[in-house]
């Protein structure tokens, strides 16, 4: 009963996924939550208030201007009653109204009036989800601290395939449990994390590097700190601000990163290797700037292998819980599983960097996370949302 005594106000807006709301109410109640349901006008075209009244055990509220309802639990009282407002499904239209700050019916009014955290489970056609107006609204809502849970990606009721599916009711229940948990997920856990690219010097002015921006690693550092972890971030050169409360150690090369990690790894419980470490470095670093010569059109560089930092952590006898990343352009799952075994990791987050708009240097990403005996997709989302989901997943599997 992870939600015992928790009060959840479930908002249902108009979308085909509203048929799952009844199941969601039951699963929330399984965990001990008290659930009250508020429906929009159009939600009632998809599921009847009677169904949701029957499963929640309370009359469904749907009107802002109903004297009888206001005489019972009025809208301000209802807004104050909730420990969490969850809107599932959240339609494109509802999110547009919320982004505009409208109070045009009971549910939108409650969202303005509640002091409780508000979470949305978006559900709509993939094209509607991708539309710039919807994305701008989502960004606005997220910037105001409204949480976005999902959407999932896959086949849709309309026959399309893509992002916009409402998260499964059980996943939404898990989010509620984490949101309302009294103890932060990683309270007191010491996390050591690598992020960003490395630079492998050729001479005093040149280096070999890659396109890693460090955004994913920095988002993980922030999410882990939010979840109560003590975070040390070993960072390659990036143009990002250190997340609040995070200790940052700056390095340039893979060898420096290796050294910075190995000297601190014994003081951590959890290690996440998010850095895009250069696999090879120039065999020798010229002391002076290498000059181009008139007689040579080609230049041959000899590279030597860098230490594999995460494999070195995985090989320690008393290794921390170790999470790696795999950025691949083909056969993502196969390579990820191979790395999980070969580098002795506990978990690996794989992303397909061949897809436009996600992965390296992008603001959004999608991951598939593998561990021994299981896997979970973390659908396309901004990197902070994704990092929070990843931290929640790690917290569920991490055993000190
Ligand atoms: O083998 P590959 O580079 O694809 O593995 C990626 C994972 O290994 C990431 O977690 C990355 O941070 C880590 N890694 C490392 N040291 C290296 C190469 C990769 O820690 N030299």
Q: What is the CATH number of domain 190-397?
A: 3.40.50.10300
Phi, psi of 333 (to 5 degrees): -65, -45
Pull the structure tokens for residue 284.
Answer: 């020798």
Tens of pLDDT, residue by residue over 100-110, are 999 999 999 99
Alpha helices by DSSP H, listed for the chain, are 21-30, 49-56, 67-71, 75-81, 92-99, 106-113, 126-130, 132-143, 169-180, 215-226, 254-262, 309-314, 332-342, 383-397
From the CA of 240, how far away is ligand 1's center (Å)?
21
Write down the residue that tokens 């494109």 correspond to.
Answer: 92
Query: Does the CB atom of residue 271 touch ligand 1 within 6 A?
Result: no
Residue numbers annotated as active site:
158
State the Rg of the chain over Cα. Answer: 24
Output the CA 339–ligand 1 centroid distance in Å.
9
The C-alpha atoms of residue 172 and residue 162 are separated, in whole angstroms, by 19
pLDDT band with cut points at 50, 70 and 90 for residue 74: confident
Tokens of 306: 């860098």
> pTM for this structure?
0.63
Give the mean model confidence (pLDDT) for residues 260-268: 98
pLDDT digits (tens, 9 = 90+) for 313-343: 999 999 999 999 998 888 989 999 999 999 9
Q: Please, what is the end-to-end C-alpha distance for the chain in angstroms?
A: 23
**How far is it, in rounded angstroms, from Cα 88 to Cα 219?**
26
Q: Which atom of ligand 1 lies at the shortest distance from residue 306's CA?
A: 21
* Ligand 1 center from residue 155 Cα (angstroms): 33
> Residue 360's beta-bridge partner residues?
none
Residue 228 is labelled as binding a ligand = no
Q: Is 152 left (phi over 0), alpha (psi -120 to 50) or beta?
A: beta
pLDDT digits (tens, 9 = 90+) for 146-179: 999 999 888 888 888 889 999 999 999 989 988 8
Whether 339 has a binding-site annotation, put simply, is yes
Superfamily of domain 7-180 in the CATH hierarchy = Flavin prenyltransferase-like (3.40.50.1950)
Say if 7-180 and 190-397 have the same CATH topology: yes
Mean pLDDT of 285-297: 89
The residue to which tokens 């109560």 are assigned:
228
Distance separating alpha carbons of residues 149 and 126, to the nearest angstrom:
16
Dihedral angle at the C-alpha atoms of 52, 53, 56, 57, nearest 10 degrees? -160
Nearest alpha-carbon partner for 197 in 214, 220, 216, 218: 214
Domain boundaries, the chain: 7-180, 190-397
Binning pLDDT at 50, 70 and 90, where does residue 141 land?
A: very high
No. of helices (H) and no. of strands (E), the chain:
14, 19
Euclidean distance between CA atoms 90 and 162, whole angstroms? 17
């Amino acid at each position: 009963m992870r939600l015992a005594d928790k009060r959840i106000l479930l908002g249902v807006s108009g979308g085909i996924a509203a048929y799952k709301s009844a199941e969601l109410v039951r699963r929330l109640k399984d965990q001990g939550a008290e659930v009250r349901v508020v429906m929009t006008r159009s939600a009632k075209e998809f599921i009847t208030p009677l169904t949701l009244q029957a499963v929640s055990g309370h009359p469904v509220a749907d009107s802002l201007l109903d004297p009888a309802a206001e005489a019972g639990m009025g809208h301000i009282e209802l807004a104050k009653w909730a420990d969490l407002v969850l809107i599932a499904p959240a339609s494109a239209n509802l999110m547009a109204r919320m982004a505009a700050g409208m109070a045009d019916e009971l549910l939108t009014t409650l969202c303005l009036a509640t002091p409780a955290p508000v979470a949305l489970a978006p559900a709509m056609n993939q094209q509607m989800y991708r539309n710039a107006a919807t994305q701008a609204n989502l960004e606005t809502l997220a910037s105001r601290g409204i949480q976005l849970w999902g959407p999932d990606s896959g086949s849709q009721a309309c026959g399309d395939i893509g992002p916009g599916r409402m998260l499964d009711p059980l996943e939404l229940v898990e989010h509620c449990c984490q949101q309302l948990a009294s103890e932060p997920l990683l309270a007191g856990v010491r996390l050591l994390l690598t992020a960003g690219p490395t630079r492998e010097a050729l001479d005093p002015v040149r280096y070999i590097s890659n396109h890693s921006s460090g955004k994913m690693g920095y988002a993980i550092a922030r999410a882990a700190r939010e979840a109560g972890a003590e975070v040390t971030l070993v960072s390659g050169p990036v143009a990002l601000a250190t997340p609040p409360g995070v200790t940052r150690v700056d390095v340039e090369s893979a060898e420096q990163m290796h050294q910075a990690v190995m000297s601190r790894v014994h003081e951590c419980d959890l290690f996440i290797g998010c850095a895009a470490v250069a696999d090879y470095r120039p065999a020798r670093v010229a002391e002076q700037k290498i000059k181009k010569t008139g007689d040579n059109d080609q230049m041959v560089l000899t590279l030597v292998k860098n230490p594999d930092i995460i494999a070195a952590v995985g090989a320690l006898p008393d290794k921390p819980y170790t999470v790696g990343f795999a950025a691949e352009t083909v056969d993502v799952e196969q390579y990820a599983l191979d790395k999980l075994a070969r580098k002795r990791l506990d978990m690996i987050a794989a992303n397909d960097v061949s897809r436009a708009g996600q992965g390296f240097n992008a603001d959004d990403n999608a991951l598939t996370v593998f561990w021994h005996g299981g896997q979970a997709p973390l659908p396309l989302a901004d990197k902070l949302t994704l990092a929070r989901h990843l931290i929640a997943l790690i917290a569920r599997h991490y055993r000190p």
